[in-house]
Amino acid sequence: MSALYPLTDVRVVDFTMGWSGPLATRHLADMGAEVIKIESCTHPDWWRGWELSEESLATNEYEKSPHFNQINRNKIGVAIDLTRPDGKTLALKLISRADAVIENQATGVMAKLGLSFEELKVHNSEIIMLSMPAFGAVGPWATYRGYGSTVEQGAGLPHLTGFPEGPPIQTHIAYGDGCAGLNAAAALLVAMYHKKRTGMGQRIEISQVECMLQLGVHGTIAQGMSGTMPPRTGNRHPVFVPHGCFRCAESDTWIIIVVTDDGQWPTLCKIISRPDLADNPSLSTPAGRREHEDLIEKAILDWSTKRDSDVGMQELQGVGVAAGVVRRPTELLNDENFQERGFWIEVERKFIGSKPYPATPWKFNAERGRITSPAPLLGEHNKRVLCEMLGVSTQEFDALKKAGVIGDKPVSSAATLSVTSTPTSV
C-alpha cells in the first residue's frame, strides 16, 4: 500500500449521482480507492447537464459540465443499463469483487433493480453498502425525493439564516449535499476500518437531513427548551460579538469581521478609530457588546465603507483580528492564499482542455492527494472494467454493446422520460 494513498487496495462501486454521493466517493478516490462509477446511457449522472437534446448531444455538452468534472476526478466510469438482466448480472459480478457499494437513489430504487443489500450479500458476504436517503429509509417521509435545497429546508436551517425582520432565507448552496457527502465518506472509512479488523461488512443508512443538523441543531434545542421558535439572527453569532459581514467602498464588495476573544476588541476599536468604544467598560465582554450590537455594527460599517475590502482585511489581520474578504467563486482562482498553498491543479480532459481543479482540503503524510485522472467520459472504461476485470470476452462485449446494455453515448428520449432512478439528493 502506498504511503500517500491509504485506500490503494480498496474498490468501491459507485451508483451515486449529482453532488452528495459523488462528493463522498471523490474523497475516497483521492485517497487512492478504485472508485468505479456506474451510469447508463439512458440515465447518465444528471450533473452532466439537464439538457440531453439532439443538439447538445451532437456537441458533447454532457462532457463539459464543470460540476461533474470537478466532483468525479480520479474515478473509473462505466455505462451499464441496470434495468436489463444482463446489466444487473454485470453489476453483481463487479460487486462480488468490491469492498463497498454506495448509492443515493430514491428509496426503493435499488431494490427494484434487484440490487438490495440482501441480494448483494448473496454475491459478497463481506460487502459494505451505504445508502443516502434524503429523509431516512423508514418513516412518513421515507419515500420523498430530495435534493440539497429541500434537505436544507427539512433541517430547518433557513429559519435561522434569515434576518430578524425578514422571512426565512435559503442559502442556495445546497448544504444538504455537502454535509451528507462528507458524513458518508467518514462513515465508509469507519466501516472499512471495521471490516479490516473483523472481516465483516455492514449496511449503512445515512439520512441526509440528519447530516444537516450540526448546522442548525442549536435552533432545535432552543425551541425544545423554550417552546418557541428561536429568532433569526442574520450574520450574527451566538458567542462572538461583533460577528458580521460589512459593505466596503467598492460596489458589492464585503468583508467579514469577527472578534473571537475580548483581547481583540480594543484592537478593533483602534483600527476603526473608535477608542471611545474600547474605553466603555460595559462593552468589554461579549454579553455587554451584545446589548449594543447595532451601535457597534454601525461603527464598523462607517469604517468599512471607506475601505477597499482587501486593504481592510490586511489591516485587521495584521493586528490579529479575524477578517476575510467575501470572494466571488471566479476570484478564488487568483486568491493569494490558495495560490501559495498550490491549491489549484491543472488537469487535461477531452472536450474541454486544461482546467484548474481544487486539490484535497486534507493532507495525508503531509501531502495532499494527487489528481491522477480527470472525470471519466460516459462509458469510457467499459472495456477495461468488463473485459480486463470481469473477464468478459470480446464477442460478449460487442454483443452487450449492440444490445444497448452498455454504451458510451446518452440516449436522449429515455433519459428525459424516465424518473425511476431520480437521485435522492444532488
Residue 417 pLDDT exceeds 70: no
Cα 393 from chain centre: 38
Residues counted in the chain: 426
**CA nearest 379: which of 367, 366, 365, 397?**
397
CA dihedral over 13, 374, 376, 386, signed as positive or negative? negative
pLDDT at residue 112, rounded to an integer: 95
Predicted TM-score (pTM) of this structure: 0.90
Lowest mean pLDDT among 20-24, 53-57, 325-329: 53-57
Q: At what angle do helices 309-318 and 264-271 cross, to 10 degrees?
A: 140
Cβ-based burial of 254 (10 A; exposed 0-12, middle 13-18, buried ≥19): middle
* pLDDT of res. 3: 54
Three cell numbers, residue 15: 451508483
pLDDT at 79 over 80: yes
Cβ–Cβ < 8 Å for 142, 107: yes
- Assess whether pLDDT exceeds 90 at residue 132: yes
pLDDT tops 70 at residue 422: no
Domain spans of the chain? 11-214+345-417, 254-325
Cell digits of residue 204: 449503512
Distances (CA, A) of 186 to 82, 183, 189, 372: 28, 5, 5, 22
Give the span between the Cα atoms of 44 and 21, in whole angstroms: 14
Average pLDDT value for residue range 402-425: 66
Average of per-residue pLDDT across 219-239: 89
Task: Read off the pLDDT of each residue in 180-200 and give the average, rounded to a whole number.
Answer: 96
pLDDT tens, position by position, 38-52: 999 999 999 998 888
Task: Quote the CA–CA distance of 342 and 322 in Å, as a whole number.
Answer: 23
Q: Give percent of the chain above pLDDT 90.
A: 74
1 has a pLDDT exceeding 80: no
- Which of 267, 385, 253 lies closest to 328 in space, CA to CA? 253
At CA 123, angle to CA 116 and CA 424, rounded to 5? 25
pLDDT of residue 215: 83
* 310-357 per-position pLDDT tens digit: 999 999 999 999 999 999 988 999 998 899 988 999 999 999 999 999
Query: Average pLDDT in the 98-115 region?
Result: 95
What are the cell numbers at 354?
A: 486544461
Least confident of 64-68, 273-277, 392-396, 418-422: 418-422
Confidence of residue 149 (pLDDT cuts 50, 70, 90): confident
Average pLDDT (132-149) is: 88
Task: Give percent above pLDDT 70 in the chain.
Answer: 96
pLDDT at 121: 97
Q: Which CATH superfamily groups domain 11-214+345-417?
A: Crotonobetainyl-coa:carnitine coa-transferase; domain 1 (3.40.50.10540)
Has residue 418 got a pLDDT over 60?
Answer: no
351 Rama sector, left if φ>0, alpha if ψ -120 to 50, beta otherwise:
left
Check whether 391 has a pLDDT greater than 80: yes
The confidence score (pLDDT) of residue 2 equals 47
Does 115 have pLDDT greater than 70?
yes
How high is the pLDDT of residue 425? 46
Q: Which of 259, 255, 260 is nearest to 245 (CA)?
A: 255
CATH code for the part of the protein at 254-325: 3.30.1540.10
Instruction: Look at residue 375 in the predicted model and tell me its pLDDT.
Output: 98
| Mean model confidence pLDDT for the chain | 92
